[in-house]
Amino acid sequence: MAFLRQLAASSKRIASSTLVAQFPWRQTAPLACGAQHVQTARFSSGPSQMELIKQLREKSGAGIVDVKKSLAATNWDPEEAFQDLRKRGLAAAGKKADRVAAEGLVGVSKTSDGVFFVEMNSETDFVAKNEAFQGLVSKISKAAVEMPRPSGSELSVEDLKNADTPDGRMSDVIADVALAVRENIRLRRGFWLPTEGGIAGTYIHKSVKEGQGNIACAVVMKSEGKALSDLDKSVQDQVEDLASKVAMHVVAMKPLYLNRTTVDSSALTSELDVLRSQAEASGKPPQIIEKIVNGRLNKYYEEVCLVEQKCVLDDKDGKSVKAYVEAAGKPWGVKLEVAGYLRVQCGEGIQREEKDFAAEVKATAGL
């Protein structure tokens, strides 16, 4: 009998150990004196608290402190927490992140070594006029200037979002502004145009404040055989003004390339195929066809290459941009050339949502 009692006790210990090994969340520590509840562990397959916070922030647009507070108050139930945020007026009924943001502003900052562009999108141009939104664009522009210079022309959006500001991480600042303006806003892209010893001028179309507008462009001027830094300060200022005028031309005429050597090879091949097919359809001799193709190709270059376009600032003589810039530099004793440019238009390439306002009004009225 003693042997059987020992065997039964041993079996209980083994069963208890096996249960804990297979289901470790069942193991609980003794309650401390005065404790009112037992904290149970969650299944490892479920989302972590950090994941729940991230998901609810994206869904609601609320700040991280408010999101965490609502989740804790609802025992980390994301649906109940979302409703709690709505009751407190901290989340919109719709998911803002799903709405198209194609309006907004382009921010421009210029330093001694280059020009920085950031594009911040909103759903409406009304928000683009909001002081909080414009202040956000200014903060992002400042962060772009303070980032390490990239090897290419594009800035890392993720690095910009992770930048530290006096008000916290940039991504949190963006979320707070989105909550304040009640719209989906997003940092879409950023660029850098290095001057590399040249002088840059900028132009901002539909400017709402200094360094912000709907379309922005920067043009870099250089000279052959003479460093522009060696010129008098007054002459450097005039070169910068000239670059700003050419930037205005770029905004208006939308060139695709700087010059012939920068034309994309595949685009050039495609254009030549079209021009040759058109010329051959005329039935003229091969030598005439070649002349026709070359003539039309030169016309193509005049349309897509900045330096070969007719300068919109020269109504009298109809000079090309290249000739216009060279003529402007003669009084200063330098042969100027356009070394580079960058044009950024807010919302460019975004598929805008077509709204049926009549249907929207009917839906609102319940008709």
Q: Evaluate whether the domain defined by 49-98 bears CATH number 3.90.550.10.
A: no
Phi, psi at 117, each rounded to 5°: -125, 140
Is a pLDDT exceeding 60 seen at residue 51?
yes
Query: What six digits make up the tokens of 76?
Result: 């980390």
Instruction: Say how far apart CA 342 and CA 115 lie, in whole Å.
Output: 9
Is a pLDDT exceeding 90 seen at residue 336?
yes
* 50-58: average pLDDT: 84
- Chain region(s) in the chain for CATH 3.30.479.20: 103-263+305-345
Residue 101: what pLDDT?
72
Query: What six digits make up the tokens of 327?
Result: 């003529």
Query: What six digits make up the tokens of 127?
Result: 């928000």
Instruction: Say how far apart CA 314 and CA 325 lie, in whole Å.
Output: 11
Instruction: Say how far apart CA 238 and CA 215 lie, in whole Å.
Output: 23
175 vs 32, more confident: 175
* 18-43: average pLDDT: 34
Quick one: fold of 103-263+305-345? Answer: Tetrahydropterin Synthase; Chain A (3.30.479)
Q: Tell me the HSE value of 275 on the side-chain side, using a 13 A CA sphere.
A: 19
Query: What six digits make up the tokens of 317?
Result: 């003589």
Task: Give SS3 for 164.
Answer: strand
Query: What six digits make up the tokens of 119?
Result: 């594009």
* 345-352: average pLDDT: 84
For 181-230, how does the pLDDT look when each residue is reduced to its tens digit (9 = 90+)?
Answer: 888 899 999 999 999 999 999 999 999 999 999 999 999 999 987 789 88
For the chain, percent of residues with pLDDT exceeding 90: 55
DSSP 320: B
Q: How far is CA 311 from CA 102, 220, 233, 301, in A?
A: 30, 16, 26, 14
Instruction: Say how far apart CA 227 and CA 8 lie, in whole Å.
Output: 96
Is a pLDDT exceeding 50 seen at residue 10?
no
Beta-carbon contacts of residue 138 (< 8 Å; ≥ 6 apart): 107, 211, 212
Tokens 């026709």 -> residue: 292
Longest pairwise C-alpha distance within the chain: 120
Residue 103's nearest CA partner among 332, 350, 336 is 350
Residue 85: what pLDDT?
79
Pairing of strands 168-169, 164-165: antiparallel
The answer to whether 340 touches 219, Cβ cutoff 8 Å, is yes
Query: What six digits make up the tokens of 258?
Result: 């700087």
The answer to whether 222 touches 337, Cβ cutoff 8 Å, is yes
Query: What six digits make up the tokens of 243?
Result: 């670059």
Residue 366: what pLDDT?
53
355: confidence class by pLDDT, cuts 50, 70, 90: low
Instruction: Say how far apart CA 201 and CA 195 lie, in whole Å.
Output: 10
Is a pLDDT exceeding 70 seen at residue 94?
no
Residue 353: what pLDDT?
60
- Between CA 41 and CA 52, with CA 46 as vertex, the angle to 5 degrees is 100
Residue 29: what pLDDT?
37
Which stretch of 28-42, 263-277, 334-348 has the lowest confidence by average pLDDT? 28-42
- Chain region(s) in the chain for CATH 1.10.8.10: 49-98
The answer to whether 334 touches 217, Cβ cutoff 8 Å, is no
* 63-83: average pLDDT: 87
Tokens 């719209």 -> residue: 183
Angle between helices 321-329 and 233-253 (to 10 degrees): 170
For 270-315, how does the pLDDT look when each residue is reduced to its tens digit (9 = 90+)?
Answer: 999 999 998 988 888 989 999 999 999 999 999 999 999 999 988 7
